[in-house]
Amino acid sequence: MSTLEVKDLHVEVVDDEKKTAREILKGVNLIMNTGEIHAIMGPNGTGKSTLSQTIMGNSAYHVTKGDILLDGESILQMPVDERARKGLFLAMQYPAEIQGVTNAEFLRSAINAKRPKDDQISVMAFLKELDKNLDLLDMNEAMTERYLNEGFSGGEKKRNEILQLLMIKPTFALLDEIDSGLDIDALKVVSKGVNSMRGDNFGSLIITHYQRLLNYIVPDVVHVMMGGRIVKTGDADLAKKLEREGYAGLRDELGIKV
Ligand code: ADP
Ligand code: MG
Ligand code: MG
């Protein structure tokens, strides 16, 4: 079992023009084990993406206090690629487009980056795995011969992120608004992909605005983030309650002023 722990995390971003720092995360605590799917919900601008970017190591986000631990080891000093090799994955972490690199080439090198030099994946094994996952996601094989993300529609990009997830097989996946802009059919396919990853060796943090996605990917734990903190944690019913009562209801219940 692996554990990802976020401990009293405080994060600032610097406004380049004004040269001032602003605290976005104000003491986030979270413990996630493999075998679990957690969801983070919360109003816009509350720091959800900041949390996922900081876990992945985006240097725009400065940790001023607290820690992020993977199996007890701090990852704060590790660059993004090292965190990826350690088993973290952020949907959207990869460049929008990589010129001259096909999707398949990209996937193979991403898989191999995680493996030792003397144990690289064979072309046959790679293609077999690729075929299986393309089938699962109702994706056309032609997608893999196109240049990465070049001219992909919004829906194709999302499906492709899930293809990356299935091929790279991270230990922990941070999925930030993978449901945004998807129609119901694409949402079902994306959910099927994530659900197929469920198991003892996989954990996921699903960030979403809406409860809808959580009808398809049922989380074990739901956290609500407001104002840079996790203000409530519960089970899947918490998401349903939020859908009924809105964030305003929760603010009232917790006595949080806007
Ligand atoms: P959420 O994902 O919950 O909508 P974000 O984490 O994207 O929230 O944003 C939280 C706050 O941090 C917002 O006020 C946003 O403008 C600010 N912010 C996020 N990223 C940056 C950045 N790179 N530079 C400056 N401000 C940022
Ligand atoms: Mg936002
Ligand atoms: Mg966001």
d(CA 224, CA 129): 36
228-258 tens-digit pLDDT: 999 999 999 999 999 898 898 889 888 887 6
What DSSP string runs through 176-207?
Answer: ESTTTT--HHHHHHHHHHHHHH-BTTBEEEEE
Q: Is the pLDDT of residue 93 over 60?
A: no
Contacts of 127 (CB under 8 A, 6+ apart): none
Q: Is the pLDDT of residue 13 over 80?
A: yes
Q: At 23, is the pLDDT very low, low, confident or very high (cuts 50, 70, 90)?
A: very high
95-121 tens-digit pLDDT: 566 677 888 998 999 899 889 999 999
d(CA 162, CA 252): 37
ipTM of this predicted complex? 0.96
Residue to mutate, 19, 22, 49, ligand 1, most ligand atoms under 8 Å from C-beta: 49
Q: What is the pLDDT of residue 258?
A: 62
Q: Is the pLDDT of residue 72 over 90?
A: yes
Angle at which helices 154-168 and 103-113 cross, to 10°: 30
Distance 47 CA to ligand 1 centre (A): 6
- What is the pairing mode between strands 20-33 and 37-41? unpaired
Distance 13 CA to ligand 1 centre (A): 8
d(CA 74, CA 123): 35
Nearest CA to ligand 1 atom 16: 45
Rama region for 151: left / alpha / beta (φ>0; ψ in -120 to 50; rest): left
Q: Model pTM? A: 0.93
Is domain 3-95+169-254 classified as CATH 3.40.50.10490?
no
d(CA 213, CA 189): 11
Q: Is the pLDDT of residue 224 over 70?
A: yes
Q: Do residues 33 and 203 touch, judged by C-beta distance below 8 A?
A: yes
Residue to mutate, 12, 13, 54, ligand 1, most ligand atoms under 8 Å from C-beta: 13
Query: 88 has which bridge partners?
Result: 172
- Pocket (CB within 6 angstroms of ligand 1): 13, 24, 42, 44-50, 60
- Identify the three-state secondary structure at position 137: coil
Q: How many CA atoms lie within 13 A of 7 on its CB side?
A: 14
Task: Give the pLDDT mean for 213-236.
Answer: 96
The ligand with the least distance to the CA atom of 91 is: 3
Q: Name the CA radius of gyration of the chain, rounded.
A: 19
